[in-house]
Copies of this chain bind each other. A is one copy, B any other.
C-alpha cells in the first residue's frame, strides 16, 4: 500500500492580507453582517483589486468600508493594502488585528517550518519561514500605517503568527483609514543568489523600512506605470462586439497571461492555474507550449524565449525521467516543477465509483506526447524569430535529445514491419494504455523530422562548433542515423475509407453511447458519476481534441477535407471535459467556416473563468484556457499564421463582432492590425518588409507603411 507521494507543490506562503476587524465589539464578517451594498472590482489596467461595501451589524449599526489592494508590478515583492472604515450611525469603537499569519497550508499540508519572529523599531513586523524540503527561506515583512490618529497598539505573537492589535475611537461619519505594506523575499530569488543569509535578511528588513516611507497611492502609481509599460501599451487587443463581455474576457486573459508568468526567472514557468490556486500544485504542463505560448510568441517574444529556456534548464529532469523508464535522451515530465525535479505528477487521484479504490493517475507514466510538444514549440519559436542564438544555447540540444528519446521509445512491430508507440495516454485522457494514439504518433514523428531538418542546418560550417559539441556530448551523428532509420518505418495513423484518422488502434471499433446528458452538463466530469474509467475506455467518447489537435498543430500536412471530415466525426464525441478543448475547437470551427459554432465555442471558453459558474475556478484560473481565448481572437478569428517566411492573413469575424485590432510581432517587426468585416488594415512599425498572404494574395508590407485590404 503506497504512501501518497507528497510531490512538489507551489506552497502557500504566510498570509499578509488578512485583517480581523471588530466594530463596536462585533467581529466583522460578511456572512453575518447584513450587506446593504457590495461592489468588487479588479481594475485590469492598474491591477488594483477593490471592494466597496456598506454593511449593517447585528446590533443594527451601519458602516461603510473600502478595501484596496495590489501586488506591485514595479516591485514584485510588494503587496500593498489600503482600508477605509466609516461608521454611519454613531461613533465607533474600532479594533483590528493584522500582521503575518504563517498558519497557511496547502490543503492542510504544511510546507514551511517556522523561524524567528520579531517587531523592529516598534513598527516593522518580521517573520521567517523555511520550506521543509528545499530549505528555501522566506523573509516576510509588514508595516501598518495608521496616520496621525490616536491609535493604541499592542504587539502579539503566538505559534507561526506575529500581529498587532490596533484600537481607535472613530467619529460618526468620519473615515478612518490605514495602509499595510508587506513584502516577501526568498533565498531562491535570483537576485539573492550567493548572498549570505544574514545579509539577505538585512536587505529585506531595510527594504521594508524604505517602502514604509511611501504611501499606498504613490506605490500604486509606480505599479500602474510598470504595467502600462510592460503590458498594456502594446498587448491590449481590442474587440468591438455587440457583447462587451468579449472585450472583457480577452483583457482578462491577457492580464492573467502576463501576471502569472515568471518572466523574471527562467528557472520557473507558468503553472496550470497560474498563481491563483492550488490546483495541479503549481505544476507546468504541455498547456504552456501549446496553449499559452502563442500570446508570448507574438506579443512578448523575450518572454517566449525564457519559457523555452525553462525547458532547456529542465533537461536534467527530462533525462532523469527517460532513464527511469529505461529510455535514452530527454523525456519531458508530464508535470514539472523545479528544473531538476523530473516527473512530479501525483500517482493517485479520485475515487473509482465501481471499486471504491483511488484511481491511478497514468498521465505521469504514459502521457508522453508533451516531449513532442516541447520540440514543436522550439521549432515554432525559431521559425518565427530566427533567434539562432537561442538555438545554439538551448534549442538544438532540446530537439536532438528529445528525438533520441523517441528513437528509444519506438517499439518494433515485427509482424507489420513498422515502428509503433504503444501503451500511452493521448491528448484525449479518457483512453489509457492505448496503442498508436494519433496525436502522440504525429507529434513524435514531427519531433524526429525536426531533428533531421536541424541536423541538415547545422552541417553548415557556420555551426561547426555547435556540431562538434553536440557530437561530443550526445553523439549527434548516431542519433541522426537512428532517427532516419526509424522514421522511415514509423507508423502514422492514416485516414480510413471515410477519411477518418483513427484516434488509436481500437477507438473506431468501440461502441457509441448517447452523450447528450454529458455534452450539456453544467460541470465537467459528469460522465464519471455514471461510469468508471474502465467503462469509459470501451466507448467512443473523448475528453478533448486528439486527432483534431494534430490536425491543428500540423495543419500543413493535411488537406482541408480531411480536417472537415474529422471535425464532423470527433467533435460530437468530445465532451470538452478539459479546459484545453474549447478554444482549439473554436479555431477549427472557424477554419470550417462554421462561424456560429466558432463564436459559441469562444464564448464557452471565455466563460470557464468568467462565467456564471462561480465554482469553476475554485482551484484557480485556467491558464491554458486564457491562452486559448487570445488564440481564438488573434489566430482564430484574426486568422494569422505563419507559412515559411510568410505571414498568412485569413480573418473572419463572427456576426456579433464589428472589428478587432491588436499589435502582433512577426519576425521582429511590430505590426498593427485592424480587422473589420469590410477591411483589413495593417501597419508595419518594424524595420523590414514582411511578406504576407492575405486570403491567398501575396504582397510585401513595407516597413513603416500602412496597408488596407478590402474584403469582398
Contacts and interface: CB of A to CB of B under 8 A. Distances in A.
B358 A160 contact: no
Given A3-B113, A113-B4, A118 B158 contact: no
Nearest to A120: B356
A110 B108 contact: yes
Contact of A3 (B115, B154, B156, B159): B115
Contacts of A158: 350
Interface stretch (A97-105, A220-228, A681-689): A97-105
A116 B157 CA distance: 37
Interface in A416-450: none
B1 A358 contact: no
A155 interface: yes
Given A103-B107, A108-B160, A356-B120, A115 B155 contact: no
Contacts of A1: 115-116, 128, 201
Given A105-B105, A109-B159, A110-B110, 20 more contacts: A1-B115, A1-B128, A1-B201, A2-B116, A4-B113, A29-B31, A31-B32, A103-B107, A103-B108, A108-B110, A109-B110, A116-B358, A117-B351, A118-B358, A122-B356, A154-B529, A155-B353, A156-B350, A157-B350, A162-B351
6 cross-chain pairs, A with B, having the tightest CB-CB distances, nearest first: A119-B356, A103-B108, A157-B351, A110-B110, A4-B114, A1-B116
A5 to B, nearest CB: 9
A472 to B, nearest CB: 45
Given A108-B110, A110-B110, A117 B350 contact: no
Contacts of A113: 3-4, 6
B358 A157 contact: yes
Contacts of A159: 107, 109
Contacts of A358: 116-118, 157
Interface residues of A, number: 44
Interface in A104-160: 104-105, 107-110, 113-120, 122, 128, 130, 154-160
A130 B31 contact: no
A240 to B, nearest CB: 39
A392 interface: no
A3 B114 CA distance: 6
A45 interface: no
A126 to B, nearest CB: 9
Contacts of A29: 31
A230 interface: no
20 contacts: A2-B116, A3-B113, A4-B114, A4-B116, A6-B113, A6-B114, A29-B31, A32-B32, A102-B108, A103-B107, A105-B105, A109-B160, A116-B358, A117-B351, A118-B356, A119-B356, A120-B356, A155-B353, A156-B351, A162-B351
A566 B227 CA distance: 72
A658 interface: no
Contacts of A128: 1
A357 interface: yes
Contacts of A350: 156-158
Given A31-B29, A157-B350, A350-B158, A105 B116 contact: no
A569 to B, nearest CB: 32
A154 B118 CA distance: 49
Nearest to A4: B114
Interface in A168-213: 201
Nearest to A154: B529
Given A108-B103, A113-B4, A353 B154 contact: yes
A128 B120 CA distance: 44
Contacts of A353: 154-155
Nearest to A346: B159
Given A31-B32, A102-B108, A351 B2 contact: no
A590 to B, nearest CB: 37
